């Protein structure tokens, strides 16, 4: 009997999720098992001190919701504390570069750790297994070690230009972090070498024994807060005590007769629905996949959604987000007319620009009962900070807040910042058709959009839809992967579009998806992220 399917960027994690299904677990158990192993084997992409959004469609329980767990700015934050430190804005809108990089590295870059709370909450409400049992594979990989994969090594070593602190510098900067990731000879571990993390294993054993509350209000919490207090961090005991997930109804839209459910603000679902509404006014299939016309049309939709994100999207608990207008068919039609008239949208950015790194991960799972999970979780950008003896790295989510007071994503105590995470489910009638999500910073929405279109417009299966070459326009430049035809790029240039080609063949988000058809399921894992899909 087929029990389900799991897809994610890390083979070890996918296998753990598959084993949970084999043991009789449901899609929630599988997703949590996968996510916990991800924190051990991809510890800069995600972690128990991270944040995220979990899209749950659970027909067996009559539930359909977003279990959101966004990192929130500590209570000690002040709205104007960084406004005099601004050097520039990231080109793709993924945060700001500040003097001394205080917002992206170190103790002041940390928002409330939420991931562990969310995984435990999901299990207790919707799962059939206990987190103590599902922690065991993660404990094994932390204690016995995991083999460094190409994408893990790539992320540690990549230097994408001046501005952001490279991850390798974050790994070097703190003694407890350096002791985990560097060998005795001072070299960072290379692909194929084994990385062990005994402190993480011991922390996970403590959580398995004493429960998740120990992390938020017990002895682990005391160690966290003492380290923050000693090193000038803003995170305090009150912030940990207030760490709770939130239930939100899905944000709904339609595209060519299909129903699309995604996450509400401060997530990126608004952008996905807005772009689909714009593009519904074009005959994309007749343009030809990744043709000059196709890329220029999608790029204009991407830029429009990016400008609207910059101007309007933030935490709805703090700002009035015009969600209904942005996702309306009228707005989509108006923006489509702008594109058809030949008008090019300009994306404004503060200061000189370079591309930034993207750090997040994804789990997609379904089970034999039709329960579906799309879980995106992240460290935002890793802070580099590991508390001595605890082994896990904290998020660096403060980096994406706007240090200028008075804007939708400006700093405020208890506020969540915008994230492009958009775990999405496309329905045919009342039945799920395509479950999708991705890591990749501001590239997430653009990757998810293209993969949905590949499946809907061009009839691709999940793996084909994910593997097709992608591009991205989160600025005035169209970024293209190395498999976009050079003749197409030349045509874009002749039409007045600046382009930038990456050396990577698979880029612009790391999309993972499952497609459901009358013939069964098929899953896809992004080739650029080393992952896989397993059906059991």
Catalytic residues: 360
Q: What does the alpha-carbon distance between residue 86 and residue 96 come to, in Å, rounded to a whole number? A: 7
Q: Say if residue 499 is preceded by a cis peptide, omega within 30 of 0.
A: no
Backbone dihedral angles phi then psi of residue 243, each to the nearest 5 degrees: -70, 100
| 341-356 residues labelled b (16+ CB within 10 A) or e (exposed) | eeeebebebeeebebb
Measured CA to CA in angstroms, residue 194 lies from 38, 183, 188, 361 at distances of 16, 11, 11, 21
The dihedrals phi and psi of 370, each to the nearest 5 degrees, come to: 90, 5
Helix (H/G/I), strand (E/B), else coil: 406: coil
* Separation in Å, CA 96 to CA 332, 401, 516: 29, 8, 40
CA dist 253 and 77 (Å) reads: 36
Q: Which residue has the tokens 């994910």?
A: 466
Rounded Cα gap, residues 85 and 226, in angstroms? 27
Q: What is the CA radius of gyration of the chain?
A: 21
**Got the DSSP string for 304-315?**
HHHHHHHHH-S-
- Is residue 131 a contact partner of residue 67, using CB atoms and an 8 Å limit? no
Task: Tell me the β-bridge partners of 394.
Answer: 49
The owner of tokens 């976009």 is 484
The residue written with tokens 């395509």 in the block is 434
Residue 404 per-residue DSSP state: S
Please give the Cα distance from 47 to 45 (Å, whole number): 7
The 8-class DSSP code of residue 316 comes to T
């Amino acid at each position: 009997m087929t029990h389900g399917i799991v897809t994610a960027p890390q083979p070890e994690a996918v296998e753990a999720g598959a084993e949970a299904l084999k043991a009789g677990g449901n899609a929630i158990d599988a997703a949590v098992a996968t996510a916990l192993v991800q924190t051990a084997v991809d510890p800069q992409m995600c972690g128990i001190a991270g944040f995220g959004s979990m899209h749950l469609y659970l027909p067996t329980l009559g539930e359909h919701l977003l279990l959101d767990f966004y990192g929130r700015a500590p209570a000690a934050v002040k709205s104007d504390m960084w406004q005099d430190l601004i050097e520039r804005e990231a080109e793709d809108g993924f945060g700001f570069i500040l003097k001394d990089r205080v917002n992206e590295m170190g103790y002041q870059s940390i928002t409330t750790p939420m991931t562990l709370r969310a995984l435990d909450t999901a299990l207790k409400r919707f799962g059939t297994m206990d987190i103590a049992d599902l922690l065991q594979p993660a404990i094994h990989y932390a204690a016995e070690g995991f083999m460094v994969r190409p994408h893990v090594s790539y992320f540690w070593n990549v230097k994408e230009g001046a501005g952001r602190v490279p991850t390798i510098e974050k790994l070097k900067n703190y003694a407890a972090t350096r002791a985990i990731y560097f060998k005795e000879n001072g070299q960072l571990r290379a692909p194929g070498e084994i990385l062990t993390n005994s402190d993480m294993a011991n922390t996970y054993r403590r959580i398995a024994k004493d429960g998740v509350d120990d992390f938020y209000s017990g002895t682990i919490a005391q160690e966290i807060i003492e380290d923050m207090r000693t090193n000038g961090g803003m995170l305090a005991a009150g912030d940990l005590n207030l760490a709770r997930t939130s239930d939100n109804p899905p944000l709904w839209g339609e595209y060519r007769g299909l129903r699309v459910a995604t996450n509400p603000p401060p997530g990126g679902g608004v952008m996905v629905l807005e772009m689909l509404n714009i593009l519904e006014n074009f005959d994309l299939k007749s343009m030809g996949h990744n043709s000059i016309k196709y890329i220029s049309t999608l790029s204009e939709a991407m830029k429009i959604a990016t400008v609207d994100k910059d101007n309007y999207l933030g935490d709805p608990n703090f700002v009035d987000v015009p969600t209904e207008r942005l996702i309306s068919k009228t707005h989509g039609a108006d923006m489509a007319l702008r594109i058809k008239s030949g008008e090019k949208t300009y994306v404004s950015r503060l200061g000189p620009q370079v591309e930034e790194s993207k750090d997040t991960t994804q789990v997609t799972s379904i089970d034999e009962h039709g329960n579906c999970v799309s879980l995106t979780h992240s460290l935002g950008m890793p802070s580099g900070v590991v508390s001595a003896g605890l082994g896990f790295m904290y998020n660096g989510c403060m980096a994406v807040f706007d240090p200028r007071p008075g804007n939708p994503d400006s700093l405020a105590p208890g506020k969540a910042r915008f994230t492009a995470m958009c775990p999405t489910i496309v329905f045919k009638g009342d039945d799920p058709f395509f479950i999708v999500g991705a890591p990749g910073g501001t590239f997430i929405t653009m990757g998810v959009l293209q993969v949905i279109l590949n499946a809907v417009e061009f009839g691709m299966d999940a793996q084909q839809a994910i593997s097709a070459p992608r591009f991205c326009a989160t600025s005035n430049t169209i970024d293209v992967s190395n498999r976009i035809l050079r003749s197409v790029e030349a045509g874009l240039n002749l039409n007045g579009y600046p382009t930038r080609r990456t050396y990577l063949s698979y880029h612009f988000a790391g999309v993972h998806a499952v497609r459901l058809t009358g013939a069964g399921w098929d899953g896809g894992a992004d080739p650029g992220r080393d992952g896989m899909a397993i059906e059991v």
